[in-house]
Amino acid sequence: MKINFSIKLKIFLNILFFFSVMITINMLYDISESKNQLNKYLYNLNHSSAKLLKNNIQSDMYGLNYTNIKNTIDTFDNSYFKNIYILNKDGYIFAQRNRREITFNKHESFDALIKDKKQNQFLYFLPIDFSNKIIGYIIIENSHELIKEIIHSKENKILKIFFIMLFVTIIFSSILSFVITRPIFTIINKINSINKNDHLAFNNTSKDEFAYLSKVIEENHNKVQSMNEQLEETVQIEVKKNKEKDFKLFEQTKMASLGEMIGNIAHQWRQPLSIITTAATGMSTHKKLGILEDEFFNNSCETINKNAQYLSQTIDDFKNFIKGDRIKIIFNLTNEINSLLELLKGMLKDNNINIVLDIKNEIYINGYKNELIQALINIVNNSKDALLDSSIENKYIFISTLEVEGKVIILLKDNGGGVPEDIISKIFEPYFTTKHQSQGTGLGLHMTYNLIVEGMKGTIDVKNVKYIYNNNEYSGAEFSISIPIN
Ligand SMILES: Nc1ncnc2c1ncn2[C@@H]1O[C@H](COP(=O)(O)OP(=O)(O)O)[C@@H](O)[C@H]1O
Ligand SMILES: [Mg+2]
């Protein structure tokens, strides 16, 4: 699981953001406040100086006494005042502090000041009146440079403080975010490092929320862990039981497969054995009666020999595919069905069962030949049992093959009446049988299912069918096997 360690970052950023905004607002407020204060101070200074000046020069102005006025304005020496102008009533400069001689030029800002009646930031403007008549004006020009310098140095100071506070804020937020999240990391590290079988113990001695959280985690972990232990034990026991069961089933299936065969061998042997017995008994009777002729003797010996060989051949046939290696080979399906019928010939004949074939000649399969035959034998044996149980007179087993889309389909049906519908879904289960203990193991179809589905990656299905054959209506079970050709 990918973990995004973001709570720490979030706390850090939130605190940082909050305090940064606060100190920024504070800084901006400080700057604007100090500007205001300076402006106020300047205004008061200008205002009181101009008033004082006005009172001092009022009469000199009336008398246009240049020397007195000049002397007076020269005393108003203050670093905030860049210059002081005394204008006549038409705005012409009569005297100014920074110049000795009279220029009598019009003051450049006079018209604007008269028009606006407003104080410019760096110019203070005050009319001089005498007996209710305006006889001139005072203009105090403030020093831009000085004011800018004052403001600048004030701003510098404020900025310095701002950066110091920002730095402190960063330190503070990182410490705080660390302190808040440390217990979480302690818990995470502990959980990450713990072996899944170990007992979890946080040893948290504090009494805060994290202590509570660790306690809950601890309890849950330990509960789950002990449950796991129990579960593991149970699973192991069950696995062992299952293995034993599987082994038993495997052994029994092997036995069942032999059983399905032996039954057929017995039928296969019945006739040759009885022929051998008849021949031997015939010979011995003839001998006792003294009528044993050479020809009879030779014929009997030949018959015995032929049948003994046949017995030996059947044994080989069965052995061949019981012991056959499990290797994939390419084989002709028709040939194999024929040899299957050869193996079952005796049994079919003894039980009066007819085989009806509908087979395509050229189907080649790349697969496990002997296992397919074993699977088919199991099905045919079941049909035989069903047919013997039924009272039907003409007993049939139909075998047909066809090839569809890279698969071969083998259909086997009988006219034994079919599988009762209430058990049809269970017949592939191991040990499911409806037969007497001595007759059925319930393993035949289970084995067949495994051989087809697991061994050959094919499918097997069963259903009950009704059909007409030779103008008679029959019903029975139909097994359909589908296996891939390759
Ligand atoms: N062709 C069939 N017709 C009717 N019932 C069948 C047929 N094939 C199988 N069955 C039913 O399926 C059961 C399981 O078959 P199988 O696994 O071969 O075990 P077993 O033959 O030992 O009983 C049989 O007991 C029988 O009830
Ligand atoms: Mg069976």
Residue type, 384: K
| CA–CA gap between residue 113 and residue 124 (Å, rounded) | 9
Q: Which ligand approaches the C-alpha of residue 260 most closely?
A: 2
Q: Which residues contact 267 (CB under 8 A, 6 or more apart)?
A: 346, 347, 349, 350
Residue type, 105: N
Q: Which residue shows structure tokens 């008398």?
A: 63
State the helix-helix crossing angle for 7-62 and 144-193, rounded to 10 degrees: 170
| CA–CA gap between residue 331 and residue 334 (Å, rounded) | 9
Residue type, 206: S
| CA–CA gap between residue 456 and residue 366 (Å, rounded) | 10
| CA–CA gap between residue 376 and residue 383 (Å, rounded) | 11
Distance 360 CA to ligand 2 centre (A): 27
Q: Which helix (H) or strand (E) holds 326?
A: none
The minimum-distance atom of ligand 1 relative to the CA of 428 is 17
| CA–CA gap between residue 182 and residue 235 (Å, rounded) | 40
- Ligand 1 pocket test, candidate residues 353, 437, 445, 475, most atoms within 8 A of CB: 445
| CA–CA gap between residue 215 and residue 201 (Å, rounded) | 8
What is the side-by-side order of every strand in the sheet holding 407-414?
353-358, 395-404, 407-414, 472-484, 459-469
- Ligand 1 pocket test, candidate residues 427, 451, 479, 481, most atoms within 8 A of CB: 427
382 lines ligand 1 (CB under 6 A): yes
User: Are the C-beta atoms of 427 and 462 separated by less than 8 Å?
Assistant: yes
Distance 419 CA to ligand 1 centre (A): 8
**Alpha carbon separation from 366 to 194, 318, 484 (Å, rounded):** 53, 22, 8
Output the residue whose Cα is nearest ligand 1's atom 7. 382
Apex CA 200: angle with CA 199 and CA 203, to 5°? 125
Distance 256 CA to ligand 1 centre (A): 13
| CA–CA gap between residue 322 and residue 257 (Å, rounded) | 9
User: Are the C-beta atoms of 109 and 118 separated by less than 8 Å?
Assistant: no
478 lines ligand 1 (CB under 6 A): no
475 lines ligand 1 (CB under 6 A): no
444 lines ligand 1 (CB under 6 A): yes
430 lines ligand 1 (CB under 6 A): no
Residue 402: closest CA among 360, 355, 373: 360
| CA–CA gap between residue 400 and residue 174 (Å, rounded) | 83
3-state DSSP assignment of residue 122: coil
| CA–CA gap between residue 337 and residue 348 (Å, rounded) | 14
User: Are the C-beta atoms of 51 and 138 separated by less than 8 Å?
Assistant: no
Q: Which ligand approaches the C-alpha of residue 416 most closely?
A: 1
Q: Which ligand approaches the C-alpha of residue 381 most closely?
A: 2
Q: Which residues contact 259 (CB under 8 A, 6 or more apart)?
A: 441
Distance 380 CA to ligand 2 centre (A): 9
Distance 381 CA to ligand 2 centre (A): 6
Q: Which residue shows structure tokens 């009885």?
A: 274
Digits of tens for pLDDT over the chain (486 positions)?
A: 566 668 888 888 998 999 999 999 999 999 999 999 998 999 999 999 999 999 999 889 888 899 999 999 999 888 999 999 999 989 999 999 988 888 889 988 888 888 876 666 788 999 998 888 999 999 999 998 998 999 999 999 999 999 999 999 999 989 988 888 888 888 888 888 887 777 888 777 778 888 888 889 888 988 988 898 999 999 999 999 999 999 998 888 888 888 888 888 888 888 889 999 999 999 999 999 999 999 999 999 999 999 999 889 888 877 776 666 788 899 999 999 998 898 888 899 989 999 999 998 789 999 988 889 889 999 999 999 999 999 999 999 999 999 998 899 999 999 999 999 999 999 999 999 999 887 888 999 999 999 999 999 999 999 999 999 999 999 999 999 999 988
Q: Which residues contact 361 (CB under 8 A, 6 or more apart)?
A: 334
Full-prediction pTM beyond 0.95?
A: no
Distance 407 CA to ligand 2 centre (A): 26
Q: Which residue shows structure tokens 């074993």?
A: 374
450 lines ligand 1 (CB under 6 A): no
Residue type, 300: S
Residue 87: closest CA among 116, 55, 111: 111
30 lines ligand 1 (CB under 6 A): no
The minimum-distance atom of ligand 1 relative to the CA of 423 is 27
Q: Which ligand approaches the C-alpha of residue 443 most closely?
A: 1
Distance 165 CA to ligand 1 centre (A): 91
Q: Which ligand approaches the C-alpha of residue 445 most closely?
A: 1
3-state DSSP assignment of residue 355: strand
419 lines ligand 1 (CB under 6 A): yes
Distance 485 CA to ligand 2 centre (A): 26
| CA–CA gap between residue 303 and residue 60 (Å, rounded) | 173
Backbone angles phi, psi at 399, to 5 degrees: -125, 125
Structural Rg of the chain based on CA atoms: 60
The minimum-distance atom of ligand 1 relative to the CA of 382 is 8
Backbone angles phi, psi at 64, to 5 degrees: 50, 50
